[in-house]
Structure 1
Amino acid sequence: MTRPARELPVVAVVGPTGSGKSDLGVELALRLDGEVVNADSMQFYRGMDIGTAKVTDEERRGVPHHLLDVLDVGEEASVADFQRAARACFAEIRSRGRVPVLVGGSGLYVRAALDVLELPGTDPAVRARIEQELAEQGPGALRERLRQVDPDSAARLRDDRRVVRALEVWELTGRPFTSFMPRREYVEPAVQIGLDGDRAELHDRLARRVDAMVRAGLEDEVRALAGRGLREGRTARRALGYGQFLDVVDGRATAAEAAEATVVATRQFARRQLTWFRADPRVHWLDRADPGLVDRAVEIVAQAAA
């Protein structure tokens, strides 16, 4: 590519888990004189390496990677904190005359980094009180309260954690949770490249990847992290494979059962990721198996900069 790096948009590589985003991100950074910014929320955590398929030093091939290993497993990941950190990374990378390459499949985190998105604050005391009410009264009472103040969110949200968050936002801001939904408007020039392909082949890849993680020592990794607060971590304990293998550590499942449960959960997660990113018409989709994948991706970036 002949255009100076400073003239290129932010490049985002998105798609389902196991589709090869990390590899393409490194290739694009090498071709475009870029640096990678991580947007996989579970790769923020120190020590969560095997189960998140975190890129090794060798796999990074000398490309600087940002926002890896920035949290302990007992800390909660925050979209608002990530938005500030990612945009600061973009600015720092730009200051060096290089291209930010955002890589990850955590859909809301990608949107937070790229799009015009106002994020309401949080209050641990308010959230703790609402969570206590959830435990004592059950989800029905909280959903009914949400229907009274924010019927759109009540109709849309299915997850109890999101209901708690919607009520927290209402108490803190007096505004419905839906008023903070992102617009499909980039905060600075950007281009998204999505990786997809044959679904059966992806399912096989995911099964093989989980098997490789188990053989590489996922159970031992989880045992070590359990002693560092993994069970108490609000975000980290939900990572694929980690909750399943905590059941092994605690004697509730065998390693074979945990591996199978991880494969099922990973396939379901990949399906949700595809649904999320497919809903965004700005994503340029490429076949992960295309031998000319990197060249095609570079062409898309060049066209976006034209």
Structure 2
Amino acid sequence: MTKPVRKAVFPVAGLGTRFLPATKTMAKEMLPVVDKPLIQYAVEEAAAAGIEYFIFVTGRGKHVLVEHFDHAFELEQLLGARGKTEALETLRAAIPAPGTVISTRQQNPLGLGHAVWCARAFIGEDEPFAVILPDDLILSDTPAIGQLIEAHAKVGGNVVATEDVPREHTNRYGILKVQSDDGRLARADGLVEKPKPEDAPSTLSIIGRYVLDATVMDRLGSIGKGSGGEIQLTDGMAATIDDGVPFHGLRFEGTRFDCGDKVGFLKANMAFALDRPDMRDDVAAFLKDMAAGL
């Protein structure tokens, strides 16, 4: 029987250079989709899936991410005094329970695997854990990380969220070497980080949701640098396959938006606005007018 997944790691030390100058003094994870920052969507997804502890791996200038999940007493007092009850309740609802938000630092930008490894002190030796990349925003009825947790309860080991991508795009992703596939859950016996299209073992790519076996942490501490001179999370996961740890890719239900990309970010804003009953009609009318003028 697998242990419950109670902790999620959020690697949020990146600089967000693709969004300069907006991210010159602003953490990229604080960029808003409609009226919530990306990091809040990620934490709310985790909480809705039963995650109890939220571990932020931050870098310089990222203190605002932790502060976002704390009380802003002056603002709360002002909203209360002005009778803005709904806004006040919205602010307070976003704050996790005391002692559940944990922060550690990645002093050097040595890759995603290194960022995850920086959270090792907070993960038990035999404790599965989740990893959520806020840049990948997923619109779904069931939390995407919850879908992975459900699959993990059945198969154990490592379970990652996957999408089929055009073969010409395999050099942008970690790609699974598929052993068997039922159309939703694929078992892999290997991983390749950003292979050339002609070398890719499949077109099934990993995106920013993971449920990982604790042994991945040990491997990340010993594998050394890989592609791009960085410690790659895919290399750590691949090493555990060699150790006999099961590895599966789940085709999750939902629509993923790459909010590390400007076009993907704009698409996310439109999609999430259309998903809001209070905004849908106005936004849909605007989009129709814009399309008619093209």
TM-score (norm 1): 0.30
TM-score (norm 2): 0.31
Structure with a larger share of its residues in strand: 2
Higher relative contact order (CA 8 A, sep 6+): 1
Structure with a larger share of its residues in helix: 1
